[in-house]
Chain A
Amino acid sequence: GESVGLHLPTLSVQEGDNSIINCAYSNSASDYFIWYKQESGKGPQFIIDIRSNMDKRQGQRVTVLLNKTVKHLSLQIAATQPGDSAVYFCAEVNSGTYKYIFGTGTRLKVLA
């Protein structure tokens, strides 16, 4: 379900290291998943998506992994940079409903 009313967990990572942000989703009927990045005071921006018939998808410096057995999604960012500092949200959707439900969000802090 929706994780609202919860303070955001924070992940602190040294610049240049890899970051792994995790997300647990709730609906086993969800068949499409998206990661968003939200910078302070702005709307969330699309990063990468994955369909439920895949377990891994790679983009530029980012990889999304999907484990449907345990309903878990992760976002890996390679060689984390200061510009990666933001809040990251996962979203799940059952494409038959077009209702997008967001996870709690994780704040990523990149340490110089």
Chain B
Amino acid sequence: SQTIHQWPATLVQPVGSPLSLECTVEGTSNPNLYWYRQAAGRGLQLLFYSVGIGQISSEVPQNLSASRPQDRQFILSSKKLLLSDSGFYLCAHNGQTGNTIYFGEGSWLTVV
């Protein structure tokens, strides 16, 4: 079966500090991978998606970047965090069928 792991689960970082959130998927190969952000009590915003190693599509110009160094690894980064980067970050993959995406448990980021 396919599983998706995200870490860390919670993170409190000062403004201007770097960020690295990691996501790995098991039980599938060559998945499409996604990063979404959700502000408290709000909807899901697509940040990045990747259809293969080294292939990253950015949906919203911002202070964040993504990388896919391995087939089942997706990393969300920032060199200098802003207060507005606070939120709930969700990684997702499209599994074996490719029709539905499945989410990880999310990473809470608070920038102070």
Interface residues of A (CB under 8 A from B): 2-8, 32, 34, 36, 41-46, 49, 89, 91, 95, 98-105
Find chain A residues with CB under 8 A from B57 CB.
Answer: 99
User: Quick check: A98 and B32 within 8 Å, CB to CB?
Assistant: yes
* Shortest Cβ distance from residue B29 to the other chain A in the assembled complex, whole angstroms: 16
Interface of B toward A, CB cutoff 8 Å: 32, 34, 36, 39, 41-46, 49, 51, 57, 59, 90, 92, 94, 98-106, 108
Do residues A100 and B46 form an inter-chain contact, with CB atoms below 8 A? yes
Counting chain B CB atoms within 10 Å of each CB, the highest count among A6, A98, A101 belongs to: A98
Kindly identify which residue among A5, A6, A42, A49 contacts B100, using a CB–CB cutoff of 8 Å. Answer: A49
Q: Can you give 25 A-B contacts (C-beta < 8 A)?
A: A2-B46, A4-B43, A4-B44, A4-B45, A5-B42, A5-B43, A8-B41, A34-B101, A42-B105, A43-B92, A43-B104, A43-B106, A44-B44, A44-B90, A46-B102, A98-B32, A98-B49, A98-B51, A99-B49, A99-B57, A100-B46, A101-B46, A102-B44, A102-B46, A105-B42
